[in-house]
Structure 1
């Protein structure tokens, strides 16, 4: 049937195929061990980082709340002390809020207060569209949860800081809300 030479060739081929399978399995095991070790190292490193962040976050939040409360108290005392001699009303504003669902809005009527200054009064009248645009931009950036009675003073201060750079003949010193409806 087969000569001795053919038997030897066939035997060598099967041994080579078997050797290739062993090499393939060995390489696969080494790769699996490396991937497993890397996964364990990465998991343990990131799990420790998450634990550290969880404990550090409340301290940062607490510090931010304390700072916000201090600023609100300063704003409150500042705005309570300032009683404007004159004021000018802006037209009613109806503005969509920045809530995720996009269905919330605020409707308000705002007056800006200032000291007696005829030049500022004419400038405020002339720049009413610019001032309304600034008010709308600030309100549009807010969420409904941010427009609460305890946040009103910081909202007023933000409006003052946004409006005053637009004026050249004087500065406003207070903002008054005559109507405020959040839906």
Structure 2
């Protein structure tokens, strides 16, 4: 008799634990699908898709409006208050690039992160630009390739969002 009572008690406990596990699983699924999926999907996936489209467009050599020209960012961040001056990789003579760079993005969360990581981003930009030759900067297609490369090198440094465009102003190759 005591054995039957113990078995019924164990069965009830097992059923209760299974029901709780099912409720927790359903709650996790609903929480992910309603809240996190939209937030992660809108920033992470779309930025990766934009990068892929930009790379494919540059490789395909689009002569009409390029992908970065099609993307208009809602916010911009000026990378440096002064113009950026770097040596170019030309071997025949000393060539310099003087440029002002703005990073385009859409996420409000990215404001503070760009400010915090400005020196790291600046170093990355300078390292990329120093590998370029004057011919890479002079043509529109070359400048587009530089933009895509900069986006691909900067985005892995960011955690709160992604940049979706690079804007150059005052480009001077000397």
Q: For each residue in 1:57-80, what CA deviation from the matched residue of structure 2 results, as whole angstroms up to 9, or x when unmatched?
A: xxxxxxxxxx99753329953212
Q: 2:106 is matched with which residue: 101, 112, 115?
A: 115
| Structure 1 counterpart of 2:129, from 139, 148, 151 | 139
Whose helix fraction is larger, Structure 1's or Structure 2's?
1
Q: Equivalent residue for 1:130?
A: 120
Query: Structure 1 pair 131/81, CA: closer, same or farther in 2 (3 Å)?
Result: same
Q: Using a 3 Å threshold, how does the CA distance of structure 1 residues 128 and 78 change in structure 2: closer, same or farther?
A: same
Query: Could you say which residue in structure 2 is the equivalent of 1:169?
Result: 160
Structure ID, larger Rg: 1
Q: Is this contact kept in 2: 1:95–1:140, CA < 8 A?
A: yes
Does the aligned pair in 2 maintain the 1:107–1:179 contact within 8 Å?
Answer: yes
| Alignment RMSD | 2.2
Residue 88 of structure 1: aligned partner = 77
Q: Do 1:138 and 1:159's aligned partners in 2 also have CA atoms closer than 8 Å? A: yes
Gap change, CA 1:108 and 1:172, over 3 Å in 2:
same
Asked if 1 retains the 8 angstrom alpha-carbon contact of 2:57 and 2:67, the reply is no
Q: Is the 8 A contact 1:72 1:154 kept in 2?
A: no
Structure 1 residue runs without a partner (length 5+): 1-66
1:27 corresponds to = none
Aligned counterpart, 2:97:
106
Number of matched pairs: 116
TM-score of the two chains, using structure 1 as the length reference: 0.58
Q: Any gaps of 5 or more consecutive residues in structure 2?
A: 1-55
CA contact 2:135–2:142 (8 Å) conserved in 1 = no
Q: 1:127 to 1:180 in 2, by over 3 A?
A: same
How many angstroms apart in 2 are the aligned matches of 1:74 and 1:127?
34
Partner of 2:145: 154
